[in-house]
């Protein structure tokens, strides 16, 4: 497989020369990038955005909760975002005369700045660190960036059903955007994720995900940093070593292993870790991305095969922050509140108020369920594509 290196990149980012990237701007100044599949038939030049759009909303406000030190984004403009529109008004489909959508032309994968972001559009400066001490009534500007990642021009579908080539293009987009967003002044951490299913709270059926570039290190990552400080920088390596020889492994390749964690919170929870210390997707090798384009969709197809209807989930890429990254390894975490064919886990008093979780399923049994579903999903996929899984 012939790959190329982006000579303008740094921090170990390697771009795949098979996947072409084109840049443009929408009518209100937001950036849009097109990522073209390897061997695509797409034209390099894209149509301009001819819409007349209002000015972008002002950058949201961050308010500190003095009881926890956590930062809450107050982003009132998000109240106006589109809610489950009909297919002919899909805002993520390519524009037509009848549908003045967000994407001016046809595409394979498209990434653009969110019209109603929780962070940004102001990016601040490298000296604008969010305070870490506690103060009552403290507020700062919610700098950063929020982007939408469209996996396909089709109105319906899912990441799991894209096929290996398109999944690989999405992974390249995540890696490239992680690399570039990390360079923005004021950005402390980059988070690519996908919400799927109305039970999760999605407002668009179109297959897509998002990327948040935060101006602070998120609470989850702060807790991980504290755990590493207490255990040592080999914590995540030791977790992977323990899991690879245990009963909770779902699948494993040359570069990645997926498993149900020992202390799973959610009825469905799977983690996937790389076999080497790599802080984020931007630092993965092209071979690691190629394998991920096989394993990640397989995992999501397995979750869909657990029951007769598709499983709602959050597919989250936990990545190391810009600083304090020692010992942190990039990790995929896929979770679902679905605890049965017609049952959902809701965060009740103990979890929602106190953060004290109660697991509904034994993790070892949950792993068995996912492995059995994986076998079913692999057989269905092989029958549909007539190509057996390669890993």
Instruction: Let me know: does 42 contact 107? Beta carbons within 8 Å.
Output: yes
Mark whether 10 is an active-site residue.
no
Task: Give the residue carrying structure tokens 């400080």.
Answer: 229
- Helix/strand/coil (H/E/C) assignment for every residue in the chain: CCCCCCCCCCCCCCCCCCCEEEEEECCCCCEEEEEECCCCCCCCCCCCCCCCCCCCCCCCEEEECCCCCCEEEECHHHHHCCCCCCHHHCCCCECECCECCCECCCCCEEEEECCCCCCCCCCCCCCCCCCCCCCCCCEEECCCEEEEEECCCCCCCCHHHCCHHHHHHHHHHHHHHHHHHHCCCCCCEEEEEEEECCCCCCCCCCCEEEEEEECCCCHHHHHHHHHHHHHCCCHHHHHHHHHHCCCCEEEECCCEEEECCCCCCCCEEEEEEECCCCCCHHHCCHHHHHHHHHHHHHHHHHHHCCCCCCCCEEEEEECCCCCCCCCCCCEEEEEECEEECCEECCCCHHHHHHCCCCCCCCHHHHHHHHHHHHHHHHHHHHHHHCCCCCC
Alpha-carbon span 258 to 185, nearest angstrom:
34
Instruction: Let me know: does 37 contact 169? Beta carbons within 8 Å.
Output: yes
Alpha-carbon span 338 to 387, nearest angstrom:
30
To the nearest 10°, the Cα dihedral for 355, 358, 364, 365?
Answer: -140
Alpha-carbon span 313 to 207, nearest angstrom:
13
Burial class (CB in 10 A: 0-12, 13-18, 19+), 183: exposed
Active site residue: 208, 255, 271, 283, which one? 208
Task: Give the residue carrying structure tokens 């602070």.
Answer: 216
Active site residues: 208
């Amino acid at each position: 497989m012939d790959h190329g290196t982006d000579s303008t990149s740094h921090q170990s980012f390697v771009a795949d020369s098979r996947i072409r990237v084109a840049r443009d701007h929408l009518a209100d100044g937001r950036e849009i990038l097109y990522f073209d599949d390897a061997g695509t038939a797409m034209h390099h030049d894209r149509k301009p955005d001819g819409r007349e759009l209002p000015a972008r909303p002002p950058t949201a406000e961050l308010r500190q909760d003095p009881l926890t030190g956590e930062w809450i984004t107050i982003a009132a403009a998000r109240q106006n975002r589109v809610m489950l529109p009909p297919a002919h008004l899909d805002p993520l489909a390519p524009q037509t005369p009848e549908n003045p959508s967000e994407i001016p032309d046809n595409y394979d994968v498209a990434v653009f700045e969110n019209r109603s972001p929780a962070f940004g559009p102001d990016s601040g400066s490298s000296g604008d660190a969010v305070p870490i001490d506690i103060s009552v009534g403290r507020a700062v500007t919610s700098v950063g960036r929020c982007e939408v990642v469209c996996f396909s021009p089709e109105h319906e579908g899912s990441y799991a059903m894209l096929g290996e080539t398109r999944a690989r293009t999405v992974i390249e987009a995540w890696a490239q955007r992680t690399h570039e967003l990390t360079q923005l002044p004021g950005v402390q951490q980059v988070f690519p994720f996908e919400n799927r299913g109305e039970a999760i709270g999605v407002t668009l059926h179109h297959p897509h995900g998002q990327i948040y570039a935060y101006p602070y290190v998120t609470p989850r990552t702060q807790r991980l940093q504290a755990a590493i400080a207490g255990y040592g920088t080999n914590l995540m390596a030791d977790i992977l070593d323990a899991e690879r020889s245990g009963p909770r492994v779902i699948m494993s390749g040359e570069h990645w292993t997926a498993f149900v964690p020992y202390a799973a919170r959610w009825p469905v929870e799977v983690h996937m870790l790389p076999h080497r210390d790599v802080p984020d997707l931007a630092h993965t090798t092209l071979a690691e991305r190629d394998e991920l384009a096989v394993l990640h969709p397989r995992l999501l197809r397995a979750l869909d095969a657990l029951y007769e209807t598709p499983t709602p989930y959050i597919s989250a890429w936990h990545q190391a922050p810009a600083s304090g990254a020692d010992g942190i390894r990039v990790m995929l975490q896929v979770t679902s509140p679905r605890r049965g064919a017609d049952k959902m886990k809701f965060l009740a008093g103990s979890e929602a108020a106190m953060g004290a979780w109660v697991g509904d399923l034994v993790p070892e049994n949950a792993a068995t369920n996912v492995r059995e579903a994986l076998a079913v999903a692999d057989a269905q996929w092989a029958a549909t594509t007539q190509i057996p899984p390669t890993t």
